Chain A
């Protein structure tokens, strides 16, 4: 692959090389996934939740319990039965319907946070790795500083300082997180920067922006996907933790962490209010972690090299 693009003409070989490279990585990832029952299980769990997000209005027996402000004191704190699979909460709302709808915010926020983190980490990490020098120093020192603050504490501090709202929640969790992303990206960029095809592109006078976008960024996709799938799991947990502390999603929106937090005050007699939403957080996080862990193995030469 390398030999081809050092010798060939830029316009025709570069996209070809990129797509080849990507295809090989994806197929490799798939091969590893297929041989790893744990990652497949992760993929299955995540798929089920994605399906639930889409099908929540159809599946939920009492959708208005999650979307509206309906309360029904006549049926409050009922234990799990056939009519209420996960029981009802302190306001007589069906916990099952609320857990189903809760998947929307948890997944949505999880993806939003990871997207924000990825973009910040990608931009700053590739600038640091590609240009080096002062830019590298400044970005990585700021990153070091952020990494030395406990992530959850910093997120808490940011929410307390700026106030509670969904966009601020995304910022509060992504801001302390980008350095972890940027470090990985920077390492990859430095590795790619030294590859023959980048040198070749440089020698024929390609601008550094073009090299960055055409040659370096496409090669980062594999690393990014792995990081992202691991981070989604963590982001969902962070959202739940902040929700549990009352700093995340606010009622009447439905969010799992918030549900556990309210349910905790009804422990131990009305355990279903806290246990089921918590189980949902765990399952979804577990799915992403299993998937991400398997994918990472597929791309990490240290753990896949057969010795």
Chain B
């Protein structure tokens, strides 16, 4: 173990020196990475909750975000599929209402998937359950494509319609500088929502219900002897995952300012899986830590690629970095940073 640690420390030191010597703006990297990682974390938390309590790898977690976002968009457009949304006209409180609506829709979807599909496959192998969630994913994307057509729609951000903060020069400010990074109010809302979610989940696992959920995931038979219903716990886990999906859908669509069928899956799901493995797939704090680390890694790779001018021959450096990080974690610490030994 010791030579490995020395090696890791040496590699870390070399990287640190390279980073400090190069003119990569580290402050911006950390700020941007944390903001991007927060969106990934909402998806990764949903994956971790379901995996931890039911042992199912949920391929549909991304669409538990996209579909509520689409339905909320439908409400914003006044149930007119050809309508448009004026982001300026939506106040922060309205947006909060839409966010809660998305959470409610997500919970309904999650509970429905659990009841209609997952509960019937309790005895099936993990591969069968994974394929079933993949089929649910295709159903949801298909539904989105049929109803909302395969086209890109604009999606509003938080606080775009909020009153401007007047600067001294009298301009309207809707974003502010932090370590050289232009931070949108929307990103601050994302981080705040993530913080609230983490606090709520922590509190939940202090209550009897939360302990029952953990018990059912660790030792289902013993838990059922103590009066914990595995069915109810599965429903609870999928409900939580659905609610988290709703948050990820509306906030993620806001970050990209657009929405199209399958969007959260395409842009966030794979990163969230990577982050979940990075943090430890059976650990919820791990999902958050892994996501933020992955976010920082992505923005670092982006800045590094720009600084060292390699964007020409390495397409999409953040994705390459994500895969490299995953391989390194699988080699060095397969249970993830905060995961327990399987």
Task: Decide whether A and B assemble into one complex.
Answer: no
Residue ranges of A at the interface with B (Cβ–Cβ < 8 Å): none
